Chains A and B, each alone.
Chain A
Amino acid sequence: MSTLYKIKSKLRYQYIISIALIIAIAIPCFLLEKYIGNKVVALILLLAVSILAMLFDILPVMVTAILSALLWNFFFIPPLYKFTIGTPEDVLLFMMYFAIAMMNAVLTSKIKKANLKVKEKLEREKTIKLYNTLLNSLSHELRTPISTIIGAVDALKETTPRLSEMDQNDLLSEISIASLRLNRQVENLLNMSRLESGFIKPQLDWCDMNELVHRVIQTLDIDIGERNIIFESKEFLPLFKVDRGLIEQVLQNLLHNAVHYTPEGSEIVFSVEQNETGCVITLSDNGPGFPEKELETVFNKFYRVPETSPGGTGIGLSIVKGFVEAHNGNVILENVKEGHGAHFTITIPAEISIINDIENE
């Protein structure tokens, strides 16, 4: 409904601008006619119609072409101030003017349409390619845990030979890990489609960031191995008004990535600070970092850094970016030093609580 209205009002503006332009050109031409002659006027008007044809839709342009032809006839071709034309030469001129103006309008619009088609086709090809990339990584990411679950369950059901208790426990914990991984992927996919549909509206409420970061670290659903996750909470950090659920997902995805893509023994450091407009969250690690030329592209949907370890769909960081931008914030990725760790900085404009301590009642 509203887009239809927009198109209509856009068209109305085009009509108004086109007609105003032709009249604005016709008036000085009329005053200067005895110096430049009516044929030059015709060329000037044609030029105006051609320019309009490049910018506007076909209908306003055709209306302008007809209007300019009539104006030219009425004010510039003798006998003046009449729609009749005196000499056969002027009749020919008028007809040619009319034909050229119309052809201009029609041809330019055809070219524009053809261009649009090529653009659409390229876009579609790009989407198909993205889609294929997604399908490949997704089918891997979804099928691996599913295969694990099915296989482990079959092995557990098998009565002969009987599995040792240790093997049984191992299989059960594999099922558990695979289910969590599957759940994570589904969650990311759902978030992705939420972002795509444009339905993300942050539900802002006061949030204790220290508590949130601790919780994200505690509830991480993958094994961190020998990695060390460090977060020193600041005691006097104020509350921020953000969508806690969205920020939790952002931090989960960043931390998950950091753990997944750094070698054992790495250090991952979180920090939360306050700036003038809201809060700044950073996460840095001392892993291999990102290739310098990939620093921008990693946030693109389905993008995966070439030659990285398998696992991952290229959705995680695009969700990070999407959720942060839903808060009107931004996320910047830098390398600490080439080849020495990644450093994410998330800036979120947010209301900051003024009351932090209520001592006297």
Chain B
Amino acid sequence: MNNPDILIIDDEVQIRKLLKITLESNGYKALHATTGKEGLAMAMSHLPELILLDLGLPDISGHDVLMELKGWYNKPVVILSVQNSEIDIIKALDNGASDYLTKPFRTGELLARIRSCIKRNRETNNDLPILFDDLEIDLKARTVKKDDVYVKLTLTEYNLLALFARYGGMVLTHQFILKEIWGVGFQAETQYLRVYVAQLRKKLENNPNQPKHIITESGVGYRFC
């Protein structure tokens, strides 16, 4: 478990090299593949802890790779995509990707995403309260504390926060959140979601206009950290 394997599937040699150096200097072991098919074969033979997958591959698309991975590969896949491709990103997230990064990305961001994805994948059903900086969320007792003071939340606010907390650090699409909280049939009601997010921010953030916990991922969804 000391040096987790990370598989890089990207056809650009420069990006591969950059990722390899970054990952290896941060204690990961980097594997790499240049095509979708090679990537799938490597994933099967090495079962890496995490896959970094570029959506624009020369042979089969990144979406196809995701579909192929579905069912047997249950570790996180982080998508690398170009800017202005929210629709692609949402599709990938709906197809089982855990997170995404748009090129060009900063190294710090990359490492943070990898850490939170791997961490989340290893944490299974433990009942301890989850800590996010000044917030403490106890899913078992259904309580929320900010700076050690209990915060009063309405039922929907709590459900939303609990969902965020369970997927801490990861991006959640609007559709996913709406389905989880309001159920099927409410997926067009992003207005409610915005209102509840605004209310949660008022109660949880030091400055609701410059949120540190509930981060808007433009055109995609929210990330809770």
* Interface of A toward B, CB cutoff 8 Å: 179, 183, 187, 190, 194, 203, 205-208, 210-211, 214-215, 218, 233, 239, 244-245, 248, 353, 355-358, 361
Q: Give which listed residue, A183, A207, A211, A214, contacts B104 with CB less than 8 A.
A: A183
B190 within 8 A of A: yes
Query: When A179-B104, A218-B210, A356-B195 are in contact, do A361 and B156 touch as well, CB less than 8 Å?
Result: yes
Assembly CA distance A203 to B174 (angstroms): 14
Binds A, one of B39-47, B59-67, B129-137, B211-219: B211-219
Say yes or no: A206 contacts B209, CB within 8 Å: no
Give the residues in chain B near A187, CB-CB below 8 Å.
83
What are 23 of the A-B contact pairs (CB < 8 Å)? A194-B84, A203-B219, A206-B190, A208-B198, A208-B216, A210-B209, A214-B209, A214-B210, A215-B210, A215-B216, A239-B191, A239-B194, A239-B195, A245-B84, A245-B219, A353-B191, A353-B194, A353-B195, A355-B195, A358-B192, A358-B195, A358-B199, A361-B154
Q: How far is the CB of A157 from chain B (nearest CB, A)?
A: 16
By beta carbon, the residue of chain A nearest B104 is A183
Assembly CA distance A265 to B86 (angstroms): 38
Q: How far is the CB of A194 from chain B (nearest CB, A)?
A: 8
Say yes or no: A206 contacts B194, CB within 8 Å: yes
Give the residues in chain A near B167, CB-CB below 8 Å.
none
Assembly CA distance A179 to B218 (angstroms): 22
Q: Give which listed residue, B83, B86, B209, contacts A203 with CB less than 8 A.
A: B86
Interface string of B90-128 (1 = CB under 8 A from A): 000000000000001000000000000000000000000
Q: How far is the CB of A153 from chain B (nearest CB, A)?
A: 14
Q: How far is the CB of B179 from chain A (nearest CB, A)?
A: 16
B155 within 8 A of A: yes
Say yes or no: A248 contacts B86, CB within 8 Å: no
Q: How far is the CB of B214 from chain A (nearest CB, A)?
A: 10
Give the residues in chain A near B198, CB-CB below 8 Å.
208, 239
Say yes or no: B195 contacts A244, CB within 8 Å: no
By beta carbon, the residue of chain B nearest A205 is B190
B196 within 8 A of A: yes
Give the residues in chain B near A218, CB-CB below 8 Å.
210
Assembly CA distance A239 to B196 (angstroms): 12
Within 8 A of A (CB), among B178-225: 190-196, 198-199, 209-211, 216, 218-219
Assembly CA distance A65 to B210 (angstroms): 74
Query: When A353-B194, A353-B195, A355-B191 are in contact, do A190 and B84 touch as well, CB less than 8 Å?
Result: yes
By beta carbon, the residue of chain A nearest B103 is A183
Q: How far is the CB of B160 from chain A (nearest CB, A)?
A: 12
Assembly CA distance A357 to B191 (angstroms): 11
Give the residues in chain B near A206, CB-CB below 8 Å.
190-191, 193-194
Say yes or no: A205 contacts B219, CB within 8 Å: yes
Q: How far is the CB of B178 from chain A (nearest CB, A)?
A: 12
Assembly CA distance A244 to B216 (angstroms): 11
Give the residues in chain B near A190, CB-CB below 8 Å.
83-84
Q: How far is the CB of A253 from chain B (nearest CB, A)?
A: 15
Q: How far is the CB of B172 from chain A (nearest CB, A)?
A: 15
Give the residues in chain B near A207, CB-CB below 8 Å.
194
Assembly CA distance A169 to B190 (angstroms): 45
Assembly CA distance A244 to B198 (angstroms): 16
By beta carbon, the residue of chain A nearest B87 is A203
